[in-house]
Amino acid sequence: MSEFYDSKETRSADEREAALMAALPGQVGHAKANAPYFSKLLAGFDAAAINSRAALAQLPVTRKSDLIDIQQENTPFGGLNATAKGKLFRVFASPGPIYDPEGHGKDWWRIGRALYAAGFREGDLLHNCFAYHFTPGGLMFETGAHALGCPVFPAGVGNTEQQARAVADLKPAGYSGTPSFLKIILEKAREMGLDHSSLSMACVSGEALLPPLRQSLADLGVDVVQAYATADLGLIAYETRAKQGLVVDEDIIVEIVRPGTNDPVAPGEVGEVVVTSFNPDYPLIRFGTGDLSAVMEGQSPCGRTNMRLKGWMGRADQTTKIKGMFVHPEQVAAIVKRHPQIARARLVVTNPDGIDAMTLHCEGNGQGDAAAVLAAAVADSLRELTKLRGEVVFAASLPNDGKVISDERKYD
């Protein structure tokens, strides 16, 4: 049996890029023609001309953090859906609330690819502990398993002793759910003297898989890999057994942009994960997830050739209230754009003596009279754009972690 889900996973980079860019104008046109939100947002753009990453980068980013307001203005999906509510298969609600559609079709969220990379094959029973209530997590992984020909035990969440008993009785090959709940189930099985040895692989999501937790699960006999997916987009990237970064799904376009802007960052720099989906029902064009990551160099040792992400590296929405005023990453980005001598900037917020203070750290040349003139000009821009006064300092370089606003206030 093949090590790969399909031939797409081993395409050359040029072949993959050509296929994605050939399909992109049609998807942008489809979104403009059938999704009212995108009809308005992209009214000034020619869909036929959006046939490269450079052209795609000219389109505005729609951020998940704005979805609640967008959907409240036009319930339930904010007009981002191209398939009418009455023609969908299911509808879900996530905290916020944010409402998400599911259309008809096999493996609508494309999770099968992640499960295959985790080791699942036809006939393997999946013990699925993602929730089936309100949110789509349970059905995302269930439909992915069905695409592989795998039966599913819809375990859901909670009921730890019953979960442990089911593992012993049903002998599933693998698990899907959060990694912390898997550890709880396995430890409960050991406490009860139940056999869990059949459960040897897991595809987890929903929370960070830190090295100590991964090792604990390995010690309990389970080889664990991660899937990066959202209710809006489905699968974004997935870990393989090489465990060296997350391989991007074959049926989306991923960009890394500077938080608060529409602008892609340089290769390897940390920024917000922005995804363009080719889903016909929910054609999300440049959808900002709010997650920070970066592109890894090179190719995965597993043989899959698509670009890799370093994994979850924090949240991009770093909006902070200072002296009663909200300061947004977009405002810091606007300062950088106004002063081309600055490569990057980070606003550090502190509260010495209990009073809020902010310092803009700028990556650039900070010596000599010219630097003093630049610092004064940047301070003026900072005050103009945020309505707050702050100090400006220069640094040879800033950390490559995607952080634009760093709230370092202490309240103890």
Helix (H) or strand (E) holding 183: helix 179-191
Q: What is the pLDDT of residue 148?
A: 98
DSSP H/E element including 217: helix 211-219
- pLDDT for 411 equals 64
Cis preceding linkage at 259, omega within 30: no
Task: Evaluate whether 226 touches 246 at the Cβ level (below 8 Å).
Answer: yes
For residues 87 and 107, the answer to whether their CB atoms sit within 8 Å is no
Q: How do residues 192-220 score in pLDDT, each as one tens digit?
A: 999 999 999 999 998 888 889 999 999 99
CA distance 363 to 322: 23
Pairing relationship of beta strands 174-177 and 252-257 according to DSSP bridges: unpaired
Q: What is the pLDDT of residues 18-34, one digit of tens each?
A: 999 999 999 999 999 99
Give the pLDDT score at 366. Answer: 62
Let me know: does 306 contact 246? Beta carbons within 8 Å.
no
Q: What is the pLDDT of residue 232?
A: 95
Pairing of strands 344-350, 405-407: parallel
pLDDT for residue 123 is more than 80: yes
Q: Tokens 């013990």 sit at which residue?
A: 127
Please report, rounded to a whole number, the percentage of residues in the chain having pLDDT higher than 90: 80
Q: What digits encode the pLDDT tens for the residues 282-301? A: 999 999 998 899 999 999 99
Q: How far, in Å, CA of 251 to CA of 308, rounded?
A: 14
Residue from 110, 121, 118, 130 nearest 150 by CA: 121
pTM value? 0.84
Walk me through the domains of the chain, giving residue ranges and CATH numbers: 7-309 (3.40.50.12780), 320-407 (3.30.300.30)
The answer to whether residue 412 scores a pLDDT higher than 70 is no
Half-sphere exposure of residue 144: CA atoms within 13 angstroms, side-chain side: 29
Tokens (6 digits) for 115: 């499960």
Residues 203, 118 contacting (CB under 8 angstroms): yes
